[in-house]
Amino acid sequence: MTFLPLVLYTSVALLLLYVLLNLRTPRSNRRLPPGPTPWPIVGNLPHLGKMPHHALAAMADKYGPLMHLRFGVVDVVVAASASVAAQFLKVHDANFASRPPNSGAKHLAYDYQDLVFAPYGLKWRMLRKICSVHLFSNKALDDFRHVREEEVAVLTRALAGAGGSTVALGQLLNVCTTNALARVMLGRRVFGDGSGGGDRKADEFKEMVVEMMVLAGEFNIGDFIPALDWLDLQGVTKKMKNLHLRFDSFLNEILEDHKNGGDIITSGNVDLLTTLISLKDDADGEGGKLSDIEIKAILLNLFTAGTDTSSSTVEWAMAELIRYPQLMQKAQEEIESVVGRDRLVSELDLPRLTFLEAVVKETFRLHPSTPLSLPRMALESCEVDGYYIPKGSTLLVNVWAIARDPKMWDDPLEFRPRRFLPRGEKPNANVKGNDFEIIPFGAGRRICAGMSLGLRMVQLLTATLVHAFDWKLANGLDSEKLNMKEAYGLTLQRDVPLMVHPSPRLAPELYKSG
């Protein structure tokens, strides 16, 4: 009974000694960026609260757009303005091209064997090249355009079939994006009927994706105070290990099925997993042949990062348009002028939908799917804006705060798509990593590999929902009273799901199968 407290007290005493010695050792005579005074041992972790991107934005108002914090024994620098972000992600991009050690990469992502968390180097370049060529190139996206359009058509039928009942729009959007990606990756849906119901394995899979996003958004104390890692004080490591076993079982089943000749996609296009398996013996990257673990890690990245982000962004876009009926009407009028009322929207229509594109950009600005960038790590010490950045520092870019910076945006808290139109304040701004005031996909070498796919899916879904339906909130709720609060995870979810009544506005035959 007394052994565990004794071990705990000893560990804390040794840790205190280590921290005191570390603090007394001169790190550098060069000045660090400003920031709040850290607490003993835990540093600034308690300052993050339940919504870290909000807390860090408030700190930046006080200390400036470049801050230094301590998370346990780890140096952390935070960029909260476009100019500071550009220094890190453009000028010093190569120095910040790797990820810091973290429990999520270790316990969930096959011990850094995936694309998202792999150290910068030959292996990462091989994985990036494979995804860029076989999944995210313009040719690959065009080859599978029909898959995305077919799955969006399935969604419209499900919504039209709802009758007068209330639907949770985000849930159906997640089903659609997951099925569209699964057909490209695996050659088949993972949500059998396209509606999310009646499929126990599909429902379980969706729960796993949500749980992963929640766990990945946790600031695990063990990552920042290694001496306490073994205690797993928050229970995060245990949850990650259990979730990994479930995902691994799911992915093993898929992998074995493909090795035995299952699931090749129709219309002459081979699914991604078949391609990855073929690369095991003939890898075209510089980092060696592809292993089963790396294949599963790539699939894990795509399933988690490629579904929840797109569906949540569309849910935010629809919530904003429902709040502002005049914007919804303008978007509907534009789509009708291009598409008409006798067919559904195609991806080929998207370049002509200027206002719709502005709506999507404004949604990415106000509701970035990843409000805090995935962390990067300084490979060497450097200087940014006259401040010393120590080697090994973790970099966080507050994408959410940058896109709401009043120095860069007029009325930054307002949903105003016209700011991206030709006569607006930012007519030429894009979200592809070149304009640092709006970087929902990140920037530099570690920019989101699936950006092009995400943009197509978000625009197609938003355009189709706007074009094919009129929308009312559940229970007769006034649109002006719609709850727009955020829930924090690795991705930016709505605190309250969007519950709506869709009413078909096009010809009835467009909502029928075949």
Annotated binding site for heme: 448
Annotated binding site: 448
| Three-state secondary-structure class, residue 86 | helix
Buried residues in 433-443 as b, exposed as e (16+ CB within 10 A): bebbbbbbbbb
Q: Are 43 and 35 in contact (CB under 8 A)?
A: no
Question: At a CB cut-off of 8 Å and minimum separation 6, what does 197 contact?
Answer: none
Q: Are 175 and 195 in contact (CB under 8 A)?
A: yes
Question: At a CB cut-off of 8 Å and minimum separation 6, what does 317 contact?
Answer: 359, 360, 363, 458, 462
* 369 burial type by CB count under 10 A (0-12 exposed, 13-18 middle, 19+ buried): buried
State both tokens at 454.
Answer: 């995400």
Cα(373)–Cα(445) distance, integer angstroms: 13
DSSP H or E run through 66: strand 66-71
Question: At a CB cut-off of 8 Å and minimum separation 6, what does 412 contact?
Answer: 403, 404, 405, 406
DSSP H or E run through 12: helix 3-24
Q: Where are the beta strands (DSSP E) in 116-175?
A: 167-168
* 284 burial type by CB count under 10 A (0-12 exposed, 13-18 middle, 19+ buried): exposed
Cα(340)–Cα(462) distance, integer angstroms: 16
